[in-house]
Chain A
Amino acid sequence: MSQLLILWKRFYSLFAGVQAHWKSMSRVQRLSGYALAVLALYLAPWWPKIPGIGWLVNTPGTQFSTVLNDQVIIFVLVALGLNVVVGLAGLLDLGYVGFYAVGAYVVGVLTSQHASLPWIVALPIAVLVSMLVGVILGTPTLRLRGDYLAIVTLGFGEIIRISAKNLDWLGASRGISDIGKPPSIGPLKFGVIDPKPYYWLGLTLVFLVVFCLYRLEESRVGRAWTAIREDEDAAELMGVNTFKFKLWAFAIGAAVGGLAGAHYAGKVGFISPDNFPLQLSILFLAAVVLGGSGNMPGAILGGIMVAWLPERFRNFTDKRVLVFGIALVLVMVFRPEGLLPRRVRTKTAMRTSSDGKEVAQ
């Protein structure tokens, strides 16, 4: 592990070197760099075919592009949304799967169960409804502090799942099938066999979400969230309408979760309450913190890891969950702020003084 750590540090300094080089490049060079990276991401379904290094990413047992869409995209979206709530605003949400479920179920209900709207129409409705549910849940609960919020949100996730399981209107435990698919555009056919179009759609959604969240982060809103996370009382005394911004964080997180759910439902075509267990919330949270809570690239990395690693290492399928648990402990012990901690930019000396307190009162 220490070797691994050293390896990681090497990688990291390499990364920093690249970053420095990056900054010294001209605008045109940089733009073309971005374009290449984006292109590479859209070509990801073919990565395993790259001679020499393809096996590194390949997922034995499951088609790579299926993993890309059904696991990676979903987890990345969810991690991005949850990162707003947990990482930025510091609100511990253990029931995030609830919003994911709401998104999926709205699409299910509107395209199959009770109406037959096209997926593309149901999608924005799903996002809005998720957002609304976020507001409805947040309004009474966001006055609660830290861990009280955690248990209440956890309960919320369960309430959603149990309701879905027991309400015939939502298909009960049978679930909802024949969910509408995204409309085909020219050669892009959203069918049941080829997952690639879904991946491309999902990746586009990820870019869209990243773009929006980035704008929010780098604004008064993002500052308000961070201030609330750092010291809620102080933030309010500095004029931040904490309740309003917490509610926004909740609503935006919920919207992104709902978006992920809607995308998922459109791809798989069938959902049932069993797709939304409480444990999934925990997994989502693990993804965010593992990657680096409060840091978008970190959250994305965390989402990718949690989604892809289990598919990559298939030779110990029976012990995957065990390994996941142990890995969580190890990462938290040795990299407690995640693999890509927030704020790499400033000096990070003087973490703690000898007595563990930063400043004497």
Chain B
Amino acid sequence: MTNEVLLDFNNVTMQFGGVTALSEVSVKIFRGEILGLIGPNGAGKTTCFNVMTGVYQPTQGTVMFNGSDITKLKRYEITQSGIARTFQNIRLFSEMTAVENVMVGADARKTSSIPASLLRTKRQRTEEKESYDRSMELLALMGIADRASDAARNLPYGYQRRLEIARALATEPELLCLDEPAAGFNPAEKQELNELILKIRDQGYTVLLIEHDMNVVMKISDRVTVLDFGRKIAEGLPQEVRENPDVIAAYLGVPDDAA
């Protein structure tokens, strides 16, 4: 972890009609860290992701990435500039094979389009091979390479979750945003995933992690940010946050349904 700010989520407010999903939230993510984003259900965590990745235009505030404003960029441009994400509700390309799913992500860094594909230029073939090799590599990293050529919808749940991460990684992000990647996992699987996330971080990625399970977050995050009712109520080292009375209140007030 360095002191270089990778992503600056600056005073963001997000309203849907009358509902204020985020109000004046500011979060800084430093290069190389794992930042845990926690909060009760409906706190606005996923909405944070949606604003960062351009799904929603914030009502107010800006998102700076690597020093440039990405608030107005198109979604795919944001991805190409280096932010990748997974989804809370798995959204794979269900009729494509696992490896093809990942290749779609890898293609984000490629340029060959219709003419090149029609002519099968040398460059296009190199790019195809690169995409394929990198994708297989990532599937292996996630430990799901054995079912690379199965349709995504036929994969077991745990595989699908990890496939989403592989697909996101394939876009070569600087910042990887994981939205409850361990949802529905048993403790052993969670443990495995934690190790994976740490491994990913050690490869130089910055990770923003939404997680419901406090134990998981506390264990692997370098810092933790807590949202409640669309407001940031705490931020700091896991230990500090754990002892913060506001956080305890927020969590006691809402039964932890994910544990």
Do the two shown chains form a genuine complex with each other? yes
> In the complex the two chains form, what is the Cα distance from A241 to B110 in whole Å?
12
Name which residue of chain B comes closest to A360, CB basis. B184
Contact residues, A223-265 vs B (CB, 8 A) = 223-224, 226-227, 230-231, 233-242, 248, 252
Find the residue from A226, A233, A238, A241 having the highest chain B CB count within 10 A: A238
Contact residues, B40-54 vs A (CB, 8 A) = 53-54
Return B59 CB to nearest CB of chain A, in Å.
Answer: 20
Residues from chain A with a CB closer than 8 A to the CB of B87 are 234
Interface flag for A39 (CB, 8 Å)? no
Chain B 46-74, CB-CB to A under 8 Å as 1, else 0, gives 00000001110000000000000000001
Residues from chain B with a CB closer than 8 A to the CB of A222 are 117
Report whether B114 and A238 are in contact in the complex, using a CB–CB cutoff of 8 Å: no
Report whether B150 and A238 are in contact in the complex, using a CB–CB cutoff of 8 Å: no
Contact residues, B115-136 vs A (CB, 8 A) = 117-118, 120, 124, 127-128, 131
Name which residue of chain B comes closest to A222, CB basis. B117
Contact residues, B53-109 vs A (CB, 8 A) = 53-55, 74-76, 79-80, 84-85, 87-97, 100, 103-105, 107-109
Interface range for B: 35 or more
Report whether A238 and B167 are in contact in the complex, using a CB–CB cutoff of 8 Å: yes
Residues from chain A with a CB closer than 8 A to the CB of B128 are 219-220
Interface flag for B113 (CB, 8 Å)? yes
Report whether B118 and A212 are in contact in the complex, using a CB–CB cutoff of 8 Å: yes
Checking B89, B93, B120 against A235 with a beta-carbon cut-off of 8 angstroms, the contacting residue is B93
Interface flag for A349 (CB, 8 Å)? yes
Interface flag for B151 (CB, 8 Å)? yes
> In the complex the two chains form, what is the Cα distance from A252 to B114 in whole Å?
10
> In the complex the two chains form, what is the Cα distance from A239 to B104 in whole Å?
8
Interface flag for B20 (CB, 8 Å)? no
> In the complex the two chains form, what is the Cα distance from A170 to B210 in whole Å?
62
Interface flag for B171 (CB, 8 Å)? yes
Instruction: Contacts A220-B117, A359-B157 given; indicate if A234 touches B107 (C-beta within 8 A).
Output: no
> In the complex the two chains form, what is the Cα distance from A52 to B134 in whole Å?
55
Residues from chain A with a CB closer than 8 A to the CB of B54 are 237
Size of interface on A: residues with Cβ below 8 Å to B: 38
Residues from chain A with a CB closer than 8 A to the CB of B108 are 238-240
Instruction: Contacts A230-B93, A239-B76 given; indicate if A221 touches B114 (C-beta within 8 A).
Output: yes
Interface flag for A24 (CB, 8 Å)? no
Interface flag for A193 (CB, 8 Å)? no
Interface flag for B153 (CB, 8 Å)? yes
**Listed stretches A111-119, A134-142, A306-314, A340-348; interface member:** A340-348
Report whether B100 and A221 are in contact in the complex, using a CB–CB cutoff of 8 Å: no
Report whether A350 and B171 are in contact in the complex, using a CB–CB cutoff of 8 Å: no
Checking B109, B118, B167 against A215 with a beta-carbon cut-off of 8 angstroms, the contacting residue is B118
Interface flag for A358 (CB, 8 Å)? yes
> In the complex the two chains form, what is the Cα distance from A223 to B89 in whole Å?
22
Instruction: Contacts A237-B55, A240-B107, A346-B150 given; indicate if A230 touches B184 (C-beta within 8 A).
Output: no
Report whether B95 and A239 are in contact in the complex, using a CB–CB cutoff of 8 Å: no
Interface flag for B239 (CB, 8 Å)? no
Residues from chain A with a CB closer than 8 A to the CB of B149 are 345-346
Checking B53, B96, B127 against A227 with a beta-carbon cut-off of 8 angstroms, the contacting residue is B96
Return B12 CB to nearest CB of chain A, in Å.
Answer: 18
Interface flag for A216 (CB, 8 Å)? yes
Checking B91, B112, B167 against A220 with a beta-carbon cut-off of 8 angstroms, the contacting residue is B112
> In the complex the two chains form, what is the Cα distance from A356 to B103 in whole Å?
28
Residues from chain A with a CB closer than 8 A to the CB of B118 are 212, 215-216
Name which residue of chain A comes closest to B81, CB basis. A239
Return A85 CB to nearest CB of chain B, in Å.
Answer: 14
Interface flag for A3 (CB, 8 Å)? no
Return B230 CB to nearest CB of chain A, in Å.
Answer: 22
Report whether A361 and B117 are in contact in the complex, using a CB–CB cutoff of 8 Å: no
> In the complex the two chains form, what is the Cα distance from A248 to B113 in whole Å?
10
Report whether A215 and B117 are in contact in the complex, using a CB–CB cutoff of 8 Å: yes
Checking A219, A233, A234 against B124 with a beta-carbon cut-off of 8 angstroms, the contacting residue is A219
Name which residue of chain A comes closest to B108, CB basis. A239
Checking A219, A220, A240, A346 against B151 with a beta-carbon cut-off of 8 angstroms, the contacting residue is A346
Residues from chain B with a CB closer than 8 A to the CB of A238 are 76, 79, 84, 104-105, 108, 167-168, 171
> In the complex the two chains form, what is the Cα distance from A226 to B76 in whole Å?
16
Report whether A237 and B53 are in contact in the complex, using a CB–CB cutoff of 8 Å: yes
Residues from chain B with a CB closer than 8 A to the CB of A237 are 53-55, 75-76, 79, 85
Residues from chain B with a CB closer than 8 A to the CB of A235 are 93, 104
> In the complex the two chains form, what is the Cα distance from A342 to B154 in whole Å?
15
Chain A 203-220, CB-CB to B under 8 Å as 1, else 0, gives 000000000100110011
Interface flag for B206 (CB, 8 Å)? no
Interface flag for B221 (CB, 8 Å)? no
Residues from chain B with a CB closer than 8 A to the CB of A345 are 149
On B, residues with C-beta under 8 Å from A are 53-55, 74-76, 79-80, 84-85, 87-97, 100, 103-105, 107-110, 112-114, 117-118, 120, 124, 127-128, 131, 149-151, 153-154, 157, 160, 167-168, 171, 184
Q: What would 5 A/B residue contacts be, using CB atoms closer than 8 Å? A: A220-B124, A221-B113, A234-B87, A237-B85, A347-B154
Contacts beyond the supplied A216-B114, A231-B94: 17 A-B pairs with Cβ under 8 Å:
A215-B117, A215-B118, A215-B120, A219-B124, A221-B117, A234-B92, A236-B75, A237-B79, A238-B171, A241-B74, A248-B113, A346-B150, A346-B151, A347-B150, A347-B151, A359-B160, A361-B90
